[in-house]
Chain A
Amino acid sequence: MTSVGNNYRTAPNPQELEISVFGPGFGECVVVHFGNGEWGIVDSCLDPDSKRPAALDYLESLGVDVEKSVRIVVASHWHDDHVDGISLVFKAAKSAIFVCTEAVQTADFNEILSAWTGTRFLSGGSGVDELHSIMVELKKRSSNTDFPPPVRASVNKLVWERKTPPNVIVKALSPSDAAVLAATARLKYLSPKNSKLRRRVPSVSPNDASVVLALQVGEHRVLLGADLEVTKDAGFGWIAVVNGFDKQQPKHQGFKIPHHGSPTAYHEEVWNQMLVVEPWAVTTPFVFGGTRLPSQADSHRILRHTSKAYLTAPPQPVKFRDPNRTVEKTVNEATLAAHFVPGRYGQVRIRKSVDAPVNALWGVELFGNALTMSDYVRDAHYSTK
């Protein structure tokens, strides 16, 4: 990635907390420094330049020993746009525990994992291929007790902690039990016996089995929203998370906005009850067909809650080009729209000393195509329908 910041390759000091959000590379990736040289990785996407997992590229550029320093690798859910390259990340992170949603650990999921992985002769990988590779790695590690066991995340489950200062607690706030049951039922539908035609595994929607994480490092708290959406049923999604949140707890100072700022993932009570006033907030863009997230309306809505909102890149696809003029002309004539995905890419890096007061400002750096949400809204060039 092209870096515009001066200190891109400067690793955080041991007492510095860092949250870096990357995307889009068919999705997003969050890299966290918990202090003391220990790191966590949530989801994965590829860097468009190097075509390698963004997290690995970044940590190696900082001189971090991925094998020993990464403690936790999380797949928030199994959509393609959140797990691209995650098996490579996990294979490199030999000291890490693997965390994924409780919903994947069913007989149906296992069957799908094997059956649909066999369709990899179709062009393009899929989230199933990535998770299959991870299961193979977990099986390899299962015979050696040096490797920590994997964790199935569900509501209010402690997935990782460090008891030496600065203390770290990583807790899952979802999926709810109801969401796990619903996801299991939907997995049955994907079972190959019900499919007449062999095809690439379809995605499961909505994303109510996503793993939302609450990070606490010392007294600093950050909420990573994955792709969790809002549903009418109070037992699912953000309503269930807010209802289950202990209101006596201190609020989170930072927020990875879920589902690319989409209105389907917006729940006002998350901002009111779980986040401090004017938290920092970051999201990644999403471009698919005619859909552009966040839209201008989405951005205005987010900016009503905080002025410290950032985007890793504007939601703009890259126009299709081909060295052969005939090909370019034919593609443009034969399609209603054609572009390269993922589009623009960038990184938002947020750092703060663990020793700093809770209300102290966080340092924000923007790399690649990252920008503030205010700039995105202000610039008519980015305007979307």
Chain B
Amino acid sequence: MNRRDSIKALGLAAAGGALLLDSCNQANKAAKETATADGKLPGVTDTEHARNSRLAAEQFFTGHELATIAVLADIIIPADEISGSATQAGVPDFIEFMVKDIPSYQTPMRGGLKWLDVQSERRYGAVFVDCGKKEQLTLVDEIAYPQKAKPGMEPGVAFFSLMRNLTASGFFTSEIGVKDIGYVGNRPGVWDGVPQDVLKEHGFTDAWG
């Protein structure tokens, strides 16, 4: 089988430049149709699927905690001229799943959210989500920069770092985020080395270096 046959075997139409890019979506559509009614993908084991379904059905965070996560997620990744915000990409739901999937995140997340509310109450007389944008950002400024955080703020720094990582993971692995970051692979094609203009830009004379 040559490459054209490979691509046919993938259930794609003709193999050609622009068509090839389109065909990626078809490939995914075709693949999705083979998932079982309850959403199990081929290749996922029954045990794995049962675990995923069980975790999805459980609820860890309270409504208040999730609301706080949503505010923080959009502070970390707001909408801009290129793409939407963390909440638009479904980040709070992703974090809800991840703390059930990796239970060692549960206490740092729950405790960190509580720590934030206590700080907020002391300073502004209101929990974090009820504060104004200005107050929220003042507090975040004190925990978002590890090297300049004041003594006593370490628990907040550790929490914010975890929250930031989960938010970035959730955002940039979403459909919105993958498009934002400019990943253009995951489709059948031909790799013929670094494009000529890029080689030139980086001072390489030929594709083999």
Q: Do A and B come from one complex?
A: no
The chain B residues found within 8 Å of chain A, CB to CB, are none
The chain A residues found within 8 Å of chain B, CB to CB, are none
